[in-house]
């Protein structure tokens, strides 16, 4: 998933580099991925973090218009199969590992 930063009330991207977000399913409760995962990430969903309501799916090259979505955002990794953790990376750099459903880049779990 790539998102382009936007500025102003239009959906035109501002000048800047696209942000590349990746997620990696971890199918065992250890910090290392299993050699044969039994689950996978099927997509990403943009979520209103104020209401916890889905805004919609995100796809490669999508631009997020903050004048439409608002600034209270979260991103959830949608999964299938057995997943114990999801590792989030942004532009190749580690962001966080989420160990509780829903697997979100900003934790929504009460125990986080």
Q: What pTM, to 2 d.p., does this model score?
A: 0.67
Determine, yes or no, domain membership for 107. Answer: no
Domain membership of residue 16 as a residue range: 2-98
Q: Label residue 71 by pLDDT band (50, 70, 90).
A: very high
Q: Quick check: is 105 in a domain?
A: no
Pairwise CA distance, residues 59 & 35, whole Å: 27
What is the structure's pLDDT at 19?
A: 55
Asked, for residue 48, whether it belongs to a domain, the answer is yes
Helix (H/G/I), strand (E/B), else coil: 67: helix
Q: Is 92 a member of any domain?
A: yes
104 lies in some domain: no
Strand (E) or helix (H) holding 14: none
Q: Is residue 67 part of a domain?
A: yes
Max mean pLDDT among 17-21, 34-38, 95-99 falls in: 95-99
């Amino acid at each position: 998933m790539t998102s382009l930063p936007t500025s102003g009330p239009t959906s035109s991207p501002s000048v800047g580099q696209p942000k590349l977000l990746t997620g990696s399913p971890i199918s065992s409760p250890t910090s290392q991925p299993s050699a044969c995962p039994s689950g996978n990430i099927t997509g990403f969903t943009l979520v209103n973090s104020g209401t916890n309501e889905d805004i919609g799916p995100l796809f490669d090259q999508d631009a997020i218009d903050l004048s439409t979505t608002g600034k209270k955002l979260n991103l959830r990794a949608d999964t299938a199969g057995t997943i114990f953790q999801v590792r989030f990376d942004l532009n190749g750099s580690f962001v966080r590992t989420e160990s509780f459903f829903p697997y979100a880049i900003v934790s929504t779990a009460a125990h986080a």
